Structure 1
């Protein structure tokens, strides 16, 4: 199992607070706020992602898409002004509606749906994690069942939430990414041989000489329109000193010499390696949780926030991987030693897949676009996700909380962190943010209201 102890104090503290609050609520008969129900499940979702073996940013993004969608679809019938987005998605179709004339408890429906989709989509997780899912589900069920005071309402609501989750999970099994953790690397893959193509790095995060999920770009997108987005424009390969392509790598090379301490802190903060964190899309899901906890919205808006976020980062990663393997481009650790300085090494090790465009940038752009639409252009917040992690001794850098005045400010730093790390050239990040914004706007453009 992954080592997660280094990560407990920051993110895991929220989960522990949730458990304590649940215990107190049961003792005092006090109902949790609706946003507390939604964020408790989001916390556990990220904990499962962080502690499940063979996880990856690609697989995690996909999971978040289905988990967030399930949260929304399990409660939307309870809000007359809102509507399901199921028929607007890529092949899902209409989902069952509640029985007319009968009462439902939508908190119970959400609770059951989240437990069911988590158990299904992370079937490979540990027995300890499955027990956590069961425990959280039962804790909330006990609280809301006492409120309902009608066993028929309880069972009907639970059944509805589970049914929604099961139908969405069945749809997920046909997207091309089902149980993809069993095939992270294709050892039969034949690399493209061309100037400037990706090569297995010597200074790397993974020992694999094969790139991660090379076929991910064939997966079905949540929104059909996202699969038709035009590919980003790429600066043509040219090793001539002074050429546009050469200058992209020269900027990375020069930046490595003058990194400030704050830039080093940004580089390690947003690395979000799957071995020790909840991955980059999980970090975006966590930012959604920050927004929800700060504003304390009703159950519908909280669920819609996670649905928009999940589908946005899922489609961002799918498109990013499609383009990564179409362009199949090198990173600075290949170009710089060959054409600028043979002794150069990046601040951060390379991930095991091609460079263009940046996965961090595209998913951050999609996430910022979604959150800005829901919570405004000027949303001040502090990201404490990694607070408490031990100092990175290799790079002599601490994990310090990051403060932002907007979601786009956070997205831009996410992208720049990869430039600081020396693993992305500027065009990787710039094109990633641009395409992420398109994907986020497509998700925002779904008809969420009647």
Structure 2
């Protein structure tokens, strides 16, 4: 009798222990921090690999969509991006008879897609090994671990197949920008490195939400003129005067939003680069800050990243379409030739045409998307630039941050005012279009 009682007691204890163990690994692993870290790791690697803003936007879009498509299985309220994004078909579904950690599946999908889109694959492999070890060490059962990794791989393969059809590879072989020396108003490479024009064929890329690269074509750039009575001259003079009379606060704003992935520094005969985050990377980081402040769960965080990233990817396609249509000369080139040969901008001029301002386009669109997801008057402390030696800045809303990011380009001396105001309008239009088109919850689909 005692033997039977012992067996029963041991069985009960084992069952209770296994249930407690299951509860413990879920408490340790099923949270959004893993996808925050995964996306930050891809950001860090893109900074290291010196990704241009358009190429970074493409990478962010695919990794975050992969993360979202894997994560939504954890919450039945959410629906897929399939049928909403250009060319995206439904991702593989998990087996209803198997148990998964969709946190692990999502992080694995993000990093697997990221590994295929960055140069430094080894850095992602090392991080992936570190991350998966944490899931195992948390006590996740082998079966759940293997199911989750396998599902993450399937989602990643599906997204990479979709990405392969976006014309990115084709644009690598297209004609480069030809400098037009015969046109005084056309863009020309700027000091100190005189880098060739970045991504002149980006408007050939498949869009994510927009119907075409021209859907949000902005107002035309100001007609070129070198006479002091021309509007173009007046706009250039305004840039020159703003930089020459800049305040400490304006300088701090310009530096905070510089977001130049490859700034060239010259010291005597030595030239070296400073690597920094891109404009879209800055807003991806703001999204992480926002999700953490809001204590957003896995799926809501994945939703925020993906909605923002696909919108900003379209922003770069739209903005770059205009840049290489108008091919507008940068303030540095114009001012040195027609106003002041010794003038230099506060910020280093990026290597592509001036109109419209990319940071104005992406920042205004980002503000629209994040306001939709987290509300207006959402105050936050932006510590994005802390790792690059700049102190945090506080904002009362996403819109406040967007306006500051836009005007920073004028303070920095790299854009005329119309590129900022018209670029802001362009991005706002793209953002509004995105939030109206994207339906992430089943109740939104039902109202459609």
Decide: shared fold, TM above 0.5: yes
For 1:412, the equivalent position in structure 2 comes to 403
For 2:234, the equivalent position in structure 1 comes to 247
Cα shift at 1:279 = 1.4
Q: Does 1:47 align with 2:6?
A: no
Q: Does 1:87 align with 2:73?
A: no
Cα shift at 1:66 = 0.5
**Is the deviation greater in 287-296 or in 425-434?**
425-434
Aligned length in residues: 403
Q: Distance in 1 between matches of 2:412 and 2:73?
A: 46
Q: Distance in 2 between matches of 1:253 and 1:356?
A: 17
For 1:155, the equivalent position in structure 2 comes to 146
For 1:434, the equivalent position in structure 2 comes to 425
Unaligned 5+ residue runs, structure 1? 1-27, 391-398
For 2:266, the equivalent position in structure 1 comes to none
Higher relative contact order (CA 8 A, sep 6+): 1
CA contact (8 A) 2:213 2:321 kept: no
Unaligned 5+ residue runs, structure 2? 1-23, 263-274, 443-448
CA contact (8 A) 1:57 1:280 kept: yes
Q: Does 1:140 align with 2:135?
A: yes
Q: Distance in 1 between matches of 2:90 and 2:121?
A: 33
**Is the deviation greater in 245-254 or in 64-73?**
245-254
CA contact (8 A) 1:265 1:400 kept: no
**Alignment partner of 1:238: what SS?**
coil
Structure label with greater radius of gyration: 2
For 2:308, the equivalent position in structure 1 comes to 309
Indicate which of 172, 187, 206 corresponds to 1:220.
206
TM-superposition CA deviations, 1:138-194 (whole Å, max 9, x none): 323543xx34x4x444322222221111111121122122498x78xx885423443
For 1:57, the equivalent position in structure 2 comes to 53
Q: Distance in 1 between matches of 2:170 and 2:40?
A: 22
Q: Distance in 2 between matches of 1:199 and 1:116?
A: 38
Indicate which of 158, 182, 186 corresponds to 1:167.
158
For 1:298, the equivalent position in structure 2 comes to 297
For 1:280, the equivalent position in structure 2 comes to 279
Q: Distance in 2 between matches of 1:270 and 1:379?
A: 20
TM-superposition CA deviations, 1:354-405 (whole Å, max 9, x none): 0000111111112111111111111111111222545xxxxxxxx2221111
Normalised by the size of structure 2, how large is the TM-score? 0.84
Q: Distance in 2 between matches of 1:189 and 1:200?
A: 11
CA contact (8 A) 1:108 1:141 kept: no
Give the direction of change, closer, same or farther, for the CA distance of 1:407–1:63 in structure 2 (3 Å limit). same
**Alignment partner of 2:37: what SS?**
helix
Give the direction of change, closer, same or farther, for the CA distance of 1:36–1:70 in structure 2 (3 Å limit). same
Q: Distance in 1 between matches of 2:359 and 2:370?
A: 16
What CA RMSD, in Å, does the superposition of the two structures yield over aligned residues? 2.3
**Alignment partner of 1:373: what SS?**
helix
Cα shift at 1:226 = 5.2
Give the direction of change, closer, same or farther, for the CA distance of 1:73–1:324 in structure 2 (3 Å limit). same
**Is the deviation greater in 341-350 or in 326-335?**
341-350
For 1:35, the equivalent position in structure 2 comes to 32
For 2:167, the equivalent position in structure 1 comes to 176
CA contact (8 A) 2:382 2:392 kept: yes
Normalised by the size of structure 1, how large is the TM-score? 0.84
Q: 1:18-33 maps to which residues of 2 (within 5 A)?
A: 31-32=28-29
Give the direction of change, closer, same or farther, for the CA distance of 1:218–1:188 in structure 2 (3 Å limit). closer
TM-superposition CA deviations, 1:106-163 (whole Å, max 9, x none): 11211221221121222x21534431233223323543xx34x4x4443222222211
Indicate which of 163, 167, 190 corresponds to 2:178.
190
For 2:111, the equivalent position in structure 1 comes to 115
Give the direction of change, closer, same or farther, for the CA distance of 1:50–1:189 in structure 2 (3 Å limit). closer
Q: Distance in 1 between matches of 2:178 and 2:111?
A: 40
